[in-house]
Amino acid sequence: MSARVPTVILGGTGYVAGELLRLALGHPRLELAAIASDSQPGEPVARAFPHLAAACGELRYCSHDDVQRLVASQPRSAVLAAAPHGVSHRLLDGLLTAAEAAGARPVVVDISADYRFADLDEYARVYGHPHAAPARARQFTCAVPEHLAQSPTPHVAHPGCFSTATLLASVPLAALGLVEPQFFVAAVTGSTGAGRTPIAGTHHPQRHSDLYAYNALTHRHVAEITALARAASGSEVRYAFVPHSGPFARGIHATVQARLRRPLDTAAALAALRDFYQGAPFVRVLDAPPRLKDVVASNYAQLAVAADGDTIVVMAVLDNLVKGAAGGAMQWLNRLLGFDETTGLTAPAPGWT
């Protein structure tokens, strides 16, 4: 086996960073070189993630400046960025500029929204500020791994968790020309999707034993989903998207409904989805409705479908922190580094969580 690739994690104290850390520490081809946090430099990583203490050992946070110098000193390295939206574009531009000046060639996978948009005017409209590194944005491609075999750019932006679930369910229908170009989506997410800092909407006493919608038809991911669906399917499609807060920590359950162009029964719809995802190791199409406990803490997504007359429904479940974030990013990183995309990602869901 060749030498391991030095790997750094940016934005290192959030839930997604914790999952990146867990996956990187168990990856047979990566060597964790640093994890950065400007808010906690010098602090033990295990203090933020006590469940990883046995694997972290004495590992401590470093600053983002330290990471920049480290990456510039390595001819080959990998960067997994979990910095917040509005921060990542500047952070990665500075890191890549320093690396280029030193002749280094890192590969980057960004999990924020900062490099997901090919149309930077649309990014500014959705996020309320202009992009800080428009020239750098051209070096990133955004796509669900199952919808693009190879990135045409050196770096990748991984779609959001709501986007990943919705696109896995809807893109095959649009790409195969099975449906009218309008999707109706109801998706339920766990509280970890809102990040680590407690707020009223994610505080456990408020979410426990409750279910409620928010940002109906106005969620910021709609623009991202629409653009990525167009790129993946070659069709102009519209989404009526209603997100919901669920009373659980991890996972997304999305129900995607559309009107069929021609009559199709469930058996034929199942065959179409299975054929579309043939060779996709992390997507499983089931005969029965999928359940979150069968995928939570894994990089697997499960789909099921029902069709009746002129209506089709696709149900999708995945872990928002893994397949929808850290695991999907690691899947892309494996590809960028020339590894099998499943490397370090094949552990099944624990179940009974």
Backbone φ, ψ for residue 339 (5° rounding)? -90, 165
Q: Which two tokens stand for residue 2?
A: 């060749």
Alpha carbon distances (Å) from 111 to 124, 158, 242: 18, 5, 22
Instruction: Report strand pairing: 301-308 vs 311-318.
Output: antiparallel
- Give catalytic status of residue 161 as yes or no: yes
Alpha carbon distances (Å) from 340 to 9, 127, 289: 21, 35, 30
Set 56, 62, 142, 161: catalytic member: 161
| Closest alpha carbon to 295 in 306, 304, 282, 305 | 282
Q: Strands, DSSP E only, in 176-300? A: 182-189, 212-213, 238-245, 252-259, 283-285
| DSSP string of 68-115, one letter each residue | HHHHHT-SS-EEEE-PPTTTHHHHHHHHHHHHHHTT---EEEE-SSTT
Catalytic residues: 161
